[in-house]
A and B are shown apart, each in its own frame.
Chain A
């Protein structure tokens, strides 16, 4: 170790890994429905796409986690995103392809992708 910068580089590289273990109140939660209905509809590739996209863009303070069936099986895969101080946004019929837009526009840009939400699907 020859400099503080080297140390900082390792710390930053590892930060995302250990973020998973810090359940802070100001984190954004991406919750993927992973009951039988969700898995059958293809929730696992969606979950993995979120994990990879978030890692690729080096976002911190975002947790990707899972939940069971919320009762809207025909809309699976369902993903709920809760950002601190904001209403929960529910995305339905998600695909790995849709994930990069949600990450870019919602998680980074702060604006939900309305056309993928349950509100749009119900109309």
Chain B
């Protein structure tokens, strides 16, 4: 029995800022002070507030230490663990009240409006210990489903809950299961899509790192519902921590007989394997994913037949996303009505977003459907650094679109996002401020899809490439107004004719920026100017001869030798030689250099 638990974040974010060394330092220091029988160090999954990592939480007080460094560990052990005095100086400042008392995490702006269902165990349990998962009602839902419910009842419960696919498209999960259950076959499969590929998205990774058993349990429930006996988790090899924790979890579940034959003494048998993906974005598309599991090159195939009829190895198959699965055990335990009571009319429950870009509280948030973008950005996200203005947010990554500042009060759910030309996507949410050029952003996402297009169908392979060339023409200052019409026409063509979701959604970032920020495109074309000052070809650095004192600093900083002038005389930039690196502007002490 340990009186105190030191929870050190072992998610990818904190691990990359050396949280493992911090955990080791705690273990060493605790041993040195002789507290090893009283205090236990546990490596957890992601707490969500990645911007403040590495994070260490000490229970029973629930003290939230942020940005912990190795050299802080001794002080925390000596003061907090040995003498019971939390080191307020090192705590997350929002948890420390004015009178120096410590507030609960739930009272901080970041956590206050969150509702954690899919992430409920992340940061709370040791993901490498099945007993801790069981202590928080783990595998109770599987037990309930197998011993008290028929497969039909399980499907009906998921249907009634209104759960929709969290991978992006938002197809009703229960319906998917119902179709697969209705198809008779000697073998059926249950698959999990953990091939999270959107730039800036890390929801699925964090769930697998923080609570791997929830995915195993939900897949077993799904297998029981549709009559499958084998499952596969398709996960990218670029997620080593998630792969490792999931491997441990599967091993533990097998040892406990929660995977294998006659689970809970019933006739139900189910086993699970991991398939590593090589990180191709297209393998997040369901048919390409299954082709890849079969050992072939990851390319999509036409639908129909849908996977529920002919999926993996031509057998009826269901494929759900990690986050979708993470909701299932709670729905079985607490009932469809409980889940359906949260969210909006057509989007029930919560959604996890990976908050990134120009935002103070970078991290992982889970909010009820219907929360406005304003709440996410201004309250949970803590606003935009440097007092800059919010310009837009990109949801759905390279398949989604942007939400401009004028629509910041839109309640976020599947249908509202589609209506404004974006999509839920898997949950990446990238915030952009006034320094972001929207043409450049559209170009960035398109470069990604051009790279990731598998090349099987022409509209996607050639179309996205041509679309990118048109955009590049504009950012180079060579675009014409006719190009805008061409872009729209080509984009619609790619959407309508591509084989799979990758191509069908690839033009979305272009179309939505064109819809909301057309004036920026026009400015690039007509005035050869990039209003945000991002597109290098359209930038010119200038020295104000009145402000310039002739200190020569800029001339010495210029790597291209583009600045000339004599001492104490105003200098001049030769725009033909200038490489637009901005080094001169950084060096100037008199604010004499401007770009535009």
Residues of chain A touching chain B, judged by Cβ–Cβ distance below 8 Å, are 1-4, 7, 10-11, 13-18, 20-21, 23, 32-36, 39, 47-48, 51-52, 54-55, 63-68
Q: A1-B263, A14-B132, A18-B136 known; A34 and B258 CB under 8 Å?
A: no
In the complex, B517 has a CB within 8 A of chain A = no
A20 adjacent to B143 (CB under 8 Å): no
Taking a contact as CB atoms closer than 8 A, the residue among B1, B37, B143, B265 that contacts A16 in the complex is B1
B134 located at the interface, meaning its Cβ lies under 8 Å from any Cβ of chain A in the complex? yes
Instruction: Check if A51 sits within 8 Å of B1, measured CB to CB.
Output: yes
A52, B134: Cα distance in complex, Å: 23
Is B135 part of the binding interface, using a Cβ–Cβ cutoff of 8 Å?
A: yes
Residues B140 and A17 in contact, CB atoms below 8 Å apart: no
A20 to B137, CA, bound (A): 16
* Closest Cβ neighbor of A16 among chain B residues: B1
Minimum CB–CB distance from B125 to chain A (whole Å) comes to 7
- Can you list 13 A-B contacts with CB-CB less than 8 angstroms, sorted by A residue number? A2-B262, A7-B143, A10-B131, A11-B135, A14-B134, A16-B1, A21-B60, A23-B60, A39-B83, A48-B3, A51-B2, A65-B4, A68-B85
Query: Count the A-B residue pairs with Cβ separation under 8 angstroms: how many?
Result: 97
Q: Shortest distance in angstroms between A103's beta carbon and chain B's nearest beta carbon?
A: 13
- Cα(A38)–Cα(B235), bound, Å: 52
Q: Tell me, yes or no, whether B182 is within 8 Å of chain A by CB.
A: no
A10 partner residues in chain B, CB cutoff 8 A: 131, 134-135
Chain A residues lying within 8 Å of B140, measured Cβ to Cβ, are 7, 11
Closest to A9 in B: B134
CA gap between A36 and B84 in the complex, in Å: 11
Q: Is the CB–CB distance between A4 and B264 below 8 Å? A: yes
- Residues on the A chain within 8 Å of B136, using CB: 18
Question: Which residues on the B side are within 8 Å of A52 (C-beta)?
Answer: 1
Compute how far the CA of A1 lies from the CA of B253 in the bound complex, rounded to whole angstroms. Answer: 9
Cβ distance A108 to chain B, nearest Cβ, rounded Å:
17
Cα–Cα, bound, A100→B61 (Å) = 24
Interface size, B (range): 35 or more
B248-270 with Cβ < 8 A to chain A: 256-258, 262-265
- Which residues of A sit under 8 angstroms from B104, Cβ to Cβ? 23
Known A-B contacts A2-B257, A2-B265, A21-B124; A51 and B38 likewise in contact (beta carbons under 8 Å): yes
Q: Is B116 an interface position by the 8 A CB rule?
A: no
Residues of A within 8 A of B125 (CB): 18
Across the two chains, which residue of chain A brings its CB closest to B137? A11
8 Å CB contact of B258 from A1, A16, A18? A1
- Minimal beta-carbon separation of B56 from chain A (angstroms): 14
Nearest-CB residue, chain A, relative to B4: A20
Chain A residues contacting B256 (CB-CB under 8 Å) are 1
User: Which of B116-161 touch A at CB < 8 Å?
Assistant: 124-125, 131-132, 134-137, 139-140, 143, 147
- CB of B5 closer than 8 Å to a CB of A: yes
Task: Tell me the chain B residues, 69-96 only, with Cβ under 8 Å from chain A.
Answer: 82-85
Which residue of A1, A2, A16 has the most chain B CB atoms within 10 A of its CB atom? Answer: A1
A53 nearest CB neighbor, chain B only:
B1
Smallest CB separation, A74 vs chain B (Å): 19
Contact of A15 among B2, B3, B135 (CB under 8 A): B135
* Bound-state Cα–Cα, A36 to B207, Å: 42
Q: In the complex the two chains form, is B84's CB within 8 Å of A67's CB?
A: yes
Within 8 A of A (CB), among B1-55: 1-5, 7, 37-38
A-side contacts of B37, CB under 8 Å: 48
User: Is residue B59 within 8 Å, beta carbon to beta carbon, of the partner chain?
Assistant: yes
Q: A1, B139: Cβ atoms under 8 Å? A: yes
Enumerate chain A residues within 8 angstroms of B143, measured Cβ to Cβ. Answer: 4, 7
- Residue B62 is within 8 A (CB to CB) of chain A in the complex: yes
Q: Are A21 and B131 within 8 A (Cβ)?
A: no
Contacts of A4 in B (CB 8 A): 143, 147, 264
Complex CA distance for A114 and B584, rounded to whole angstroms: 77
- A55-B1 in contact (CB<8A): yes
**In the complex, A32 Cα to B262 Cα: how many Å?**
49
A13–B131 CA distance with the chains assembled, in angstroms: 9
Please give, as numbers and ranges, the residues of chain A lying within 8 Å of B258 by CB-CB distance: 1
